[in-house]
Amino acid sequence: MNTTGKTCQQNLIGEMGKRWVFLFLLLEFAYFSISASGYFSFDTVQMILFYGTEIFLLASAELFVIITGGIDLSVGYVLGFATVISSKLMVVFASLGISPIGCILISIVITLVIGLIPGFVNGVLVAKLRIPPFIATFSMLGITQGISELLMQGIPAKNLPILAGSIGNGYLLYIVPGQALSFFHRPDVPRGVRVYEIIPNVVVFAFLFIAVFAFILKRMRFGQHLYAIGGNIDAAARAGINVRKNLVAVYMLSSFFASLAGIIYVMKYITGKADAGAGFLLDAIAAVVIGGASMFGGSGTVWRTILGCFVIAVLETGLRMMGTPTFDKYILVGVILIFTVLIECFFSNFKK
Amino acid sequence: MKKTIVILLAGLFTLGIGTLPIASGESKASADGKITLLFMPGVADPFYTTMEKGVRAKAAELGVDVIVAEYPKSWGPEAQVPILEATAARMKFDAILIAPTSNDALIAPLKKLYNKGMEIITVDTFLGDGDYSKKSTYSFPLTYIGSDNELGGKLMAEKLAAMVGEKGKVFCEATNPDASSVADRVKGFKAGIAEFPEMELVGVEWCQDVQQVAQEQTLAALQKNKDIVGIFGTNVYSAQGSYQAVVNAGLTGAIKICSWDATQELIGALKKGQVDLVLAQKPAEIGALGVEWAVKFLKDKSVNVPKKIIPGFEFFTKENVNDPAMEQYIYK
């Protein structure tokens, strides 16, 4: 009886170890629901998702690289680079007289293709020339920032197609209770009538991509190879995995996600600028770490990274709605990061 | 697999409990009928903190509540909009006084709040081209209250020209072309300088509201054009950075400096002779006017609010900087 009690306890602690981020998130949400007026609502959840989109994408980008034991510091400025390219392209195409939807689609495709270049260079530097990822991607941070500033010449793109803003700030579904229900288009109602807006477009867009890559990471051979490379790069090579090719691919994937985040930024804020993503990088890395991925590689999942993003976003929105100054957030994120690592250590020791 | 299910269920749970209070979420507004305003500054700098003082003083005088949102740490919609939305979700404000950080990007989020029944007043910067009198996608704000930036830029050009004998090369350090106020100052300055045939504007640089960048850009401009005779710094950080660059280059006195925004640092520099002219906007007055008009309109919706309200400027020079009457225009 004594032994079964012990295994029960062990199981419980084991489960806690796996799920503490989630528990922490629930606690956080509960706390703010009680102490911040207006927090406990569907709108807040949507707001967290809407303003978190860039972080969700950048954190996923960062996760792939971190699984292989690397790091990508350039994602923030690749995001900025993508905002500049796509906004400039939209303006150019619009001036050529192409229809707004055409402008937007062509610009997105071109931006996503160009957005692969920084990642390709990063990958080649890391995989072929053996430059440490920290240095390679740090250099790319400077290079992409410089190129974006050159392209901008200090002037953010203006007069983008209005459609871009309506897509970026639009919702899938609008409901006016008892009166109207429409998809994608906000019904015209008198001011003051409450319109329920359900699920922002950009969130759907972002999570489609994240879901696809979560599947690839978990179920496809490419994903398994990344874990193998991060676990032990020599063993992976000996097992016949093409390490170089996979590394180049993973840095390109990271850039791709950053460009996607850049496009979303343009659709949301209908402007593009070099330093658009500067503030997002540290939040993205923090989210990956809080989500339990090891900075040494070999572990981490997309879902837990998303939970990590939520921990930060829920905290940020909550503090704002309570009216707490910004700087408290930085301190709290720092403290949570340290605790994450300590807790991970505690539970991994316990398992032994 | 089990984990995925748990997470999915929990996600649904979160959404589910979130949906419940949908109807009650925003009904807390001013239960006692007291007017509550939201002040949303553009960026953390002394101009907006001075404006906040004006807002608070006027609100106390008129007996209305005011909540000041967190100051964005950088200038841009990605910093300001999330703060605006989170703060505005706290309750149904009667009116929002905001300095939009982009004249395009803020239209959608402000329109959303306007549709929820909150009145919008833009202070210092504006939406679109700032003309709310004709119907457009951005004409919903009650009014724009801010300096006539184009006129200010032109006046600075004229005063700078007079100081340098109406000839020579001048340079302009600005912040961000996406800030409508600063863009207009530059426009006015360009037009002003163009009226003097022997003067030339050799460059306009944008420091994105980072003082150190302003300093570096000014230094680079001084190295490129060794015969610059005058510099116009268009706001707090560009002015502070550009005069510092001149001080560091040892060119104090040789280059005439006109600074926009009367921070204590710039007034101090004026006293030391490192700056020659400081334009003071009236941020406290802008804030106070915002509160005054908001309250006037909220109490009586038939009040005709002018679509543009323009408080004047004050100019600080070496002669009047110690005048006690001027003291009130320094940003504190």
Given pLDDT bands bounded at 50, 70 and 90, which one contains residue A349?
A: low
Q: State residue A326's pLDDT score.
A: 60
Q: Pick the residue with more confidence: B201 or B19?
A: B201
What is the DSSP pairing of strand B256-260 with strand B228-233? parallel
Binary contact (A51, B82; C-beta < 8 A): yes
Binary contact (A320, B70; C-beta < 8 A): yes
Nearest CA in chain B to A188: B115
Domain span at B168: 149-280
Establish if B166 belongs to a structural domain: yes
Q: State residue B10's pLDDT score.
A: 52
Given pLDDT bands bounded at 50, 70 and 90, which one contains residue A38?
A: confident
Q: What are the chain A neighbours of B83 within 8 Å (beta carbons)? A: 320
Cβ pairs bridging A and B (under 8 Å): 131
Q: What are the chain B neighbours of A44 within 8 Å (beta carbons)? A: 18, 89
Residues B217 and B254 occupy one common structural domain? yes
Q: State residue A90's pLDDT score.
A: 93
Q: Which of A45, A166, A325 sits opposite B15 (nearest CB)?
A: A45
Distance, first Cα to last Cα, chain A: 23
Q: What are the chain A neighbours of B15 within 8 Å (beta carbons)? A: 42, 45
Position A6 pLDDT exceeds 70:
no
Nearest CA in chain A to B104: A270
Q: What is the pLDDT of residues A62-95, one digit of tens each?
A: 999 999 999 999 999 999 999 999 999 999 998 8
Q: Which of B76, B86, B137 sits opposite A273 (nearest CB)?
A: B76
What is the DSSP pairing of strand B256-260 with strand B277-280? parallel
Give me chain A's average pLDDT, please: 87
The ipTM estimated for the assembled molecules is 0.81
Q: How far apart, in Å, are the Cα atoms of A105 and each of A1, A148, A163, A265, B4? A: 66, 21, 11, 15, 34
Residues B67 and B131 occupy one common structural domain? yes
Report yes or no: B90 and A38 within 8 Å, Cβ to Cβ: yes
Binary contact (B105, A270; C-beta < 8 A): yes
Position B98 pLDDT exceeds 80:
yes
Q: What angle do CA B32, B37, B40 make, to 5 degrees?
A: 150
Q: State residue A257's pLDDT score.
A: 95
Report yes or no: B270 and B276 within 8 Å, Cβ to Cβ: yes
Report yes or no: A249 and A243 within 8 Å, Cβ to Cβ: no
Q: State residue A178's pLDDT score.
A: 77
CB neighbour burial string for B316-330, b if at least 16 within 10 angstroms, e if fewer: beeeebeeeebeebb
Over residues B203-216, the mean pLDDT reads 90
Binary contact (B177, A154; C-beta < 8 A): yes
Given pLDDT bands bounded at 50, 70 and 90, which one contains residue B32?
A: low
Over residues B61-85, the mean pLDDT reads 90
Q: What is the pLDDT of residues A265-311, one digit of tens each?
A: 999 988 888 888 888 888 899 999 888 888 888 888 999 999 999 99
Residues B217 and B137 occupy one common structural domain? no
Residues B154 and B114 occupy one common structural domain? no
Binary contact (B117, A192; C-beta < 8 A): yes
Structural element, H or E, at residue B106: none
Q: What is the pLDDT of residues A255-264, one digit of tens each?
A: 999 999 999 9
Query: Which residues, listed in sequence order, are joined to residue B204 by a DSSP beta bridge?
Result: B172
| Backbone φ, ψ for residue A103 (5° rounding) | -50, -50
Given pLDDT bands bounded at 50, 70 and 90, which one contains residue A17?
A: low
Instruction: Among A157-166, A226-235, B151-160, name the one with the lowest average pLDDT.
Output: A157-166
Closest-CA residue to A61 (of A119, A105, A20, A126): A119
Residues B77 and B130 occupy one common structural domain? yes
Binary contact (B22, A51; C-beta < 8 A): no
Q: Which of B87, B89, B137 sits opposite A44 (nearest CB)?
A: B89
Residues B120 and B93 occupy one common structural domain? yes
Q: State residue A1's pLDDT score.
A: 45
Separation CA B89–CA A44 (nearest Å): 8
Angle of helix A201-219 versus helix A243-269 axis, rounded to 10: 170
Nearest CA in chain B to A271: B105
The most distant pair of C-alpha atoms in chain A lies apart, rounded to whole Å, by 80
Neighbouring residues of B2: CB distance < 8 A, sequence distance ≥ 6? none
Report yes or no: B108 and B272 within 8 Å, Cβ to Cβ: no
Binary contact (A269, B77; C-beta < 8 A): yes
Q: Which of A160, A275, A321 sits opposite B208 (nearest CB)?
A: A275
Position A253 pLDDT exceeds 80:
yes
**Collapsed DSSP state (helix, strand, coil) of residue B201:** strand
Separation CA A164–CA A100 (nearest Å): 8
Q: State residue A154's pLDDT score.
A: 67
Q: What is the pLDDT of residues B247-297, one digit of tens each?
A: 999 999 899 999 999 999 999 999 999 999 999 999 999 999 999 999 999
Position B18 pLDDT exceeds 50:
no
**Collapsed DSSP state (helix, strand, coil) of residue A341:** helix
Q: State residue A325's pLDDT score.
A: 67
Distance between B93 CA and the closest CA of chain A, angstroms: 12
Residues B143 and B153 occupy one common structural domain? no
Q: What is the share, in percent, of chain A residues with pLDDT greater than 90?
A: 47
Binary contact (B104, A37; C-beta < 8 A): no
**In chain A, what are the domain boundaries?**
41-160+200-319
Binary contact (B208, A321; C-beta < 8 A): no
Establish if B201 belongs to a structural domain: yes
**Collapsed DSSP state (helix, strand, coil) of residue B171:** strand
Q: State residue A5's pLDDT score.
A: 56
Given pLDDT bands bounded at 50, 70 and 90, which one contains residue B7?
A: low
Given pLDDT bands bounded at 50, 70 and 90, which one contains residue B19?
A: very low
Report yes or no: B198 and B166 within 8 Å, Cβ to Cβ: yes
Interface test with A, best of B5, B15, B104, B216 (most A CBs within 10 A): B104
Residues B186 and B227 occupy one common structural domain? yes
Q: Which two tokens stand for residue B73?
A: 């740490």
Position B4 pLDDT exceeds 70:
no
* CATH number for B153: 3.40.50.2300
Binary contact (A156, B177; C-beta < 8 A): yes
**Collapsed DSSP state (helix, strand, coil) of residue B68:** strand
Separation CA B315–CA B280 (nearest Å): 6
Q: State residue B45's pLDDT score.
A: 87
Q: What are the chain B neighbours of A169 within 8 Å (beta carbons)? A: 108-109, 112
CB neighbourhood size of A2 (10 A)? 5
Q: Which two tokens stand for residue B85?
A: 């939305």
Q: What are the chain A neighbours of B82 within 8 Å (beta carbons)? A: 47, 51, 316-317, 320
Residues B99 and B82 occupy one common structural domain? yes
Report yes or no: A288 and A61 within 8 Å, Cβ to Cβ: no
Q: How many structural domains is chain B composed of? A: 2
Q: Which of A19, A194, A271 sits opposite B105 (nearest CB)?
A: A271
Residues composing chain B: 332
Over residues B205-216, the mean pLDDT reads 90
Position A36 pLDDT exceeds 50:
yes
Q: Which two tokens stand for residue A331?
A: 């301190």
Q: What is the distance of C-alpha A120 from the center of its chain?
A: 20
Report yes or no: B99 and B41 within 8 Å, Cβ to Cβ: yes
User: Residue B190 burial by CB count (10 A; 0-12/13-18/19+): exposed, middle or buried?
Assistant: middle
Binary contact (A43, B70; C-beta < 8 A): no
Binary contact (B81, A269; C-beta < 8 A): yes
Q: State residue B119's pLDDT score.
A: 94
Residues B55 and B134 occupy one common structural domain? yes
Q: Which two tokens stand for residue B218?
A: 């000014």
Q: Which of A194, A321, A326 sits opposite B73 (nearest CB)?
A: A326
Q: Which two tokens stand for residue A246?
A: 């996979």
Residues B219 and B270 occupy one common structural domain? yes
Interface test with A, best of B30, B78, B238, B298 (most A CBs within 10 A): B78
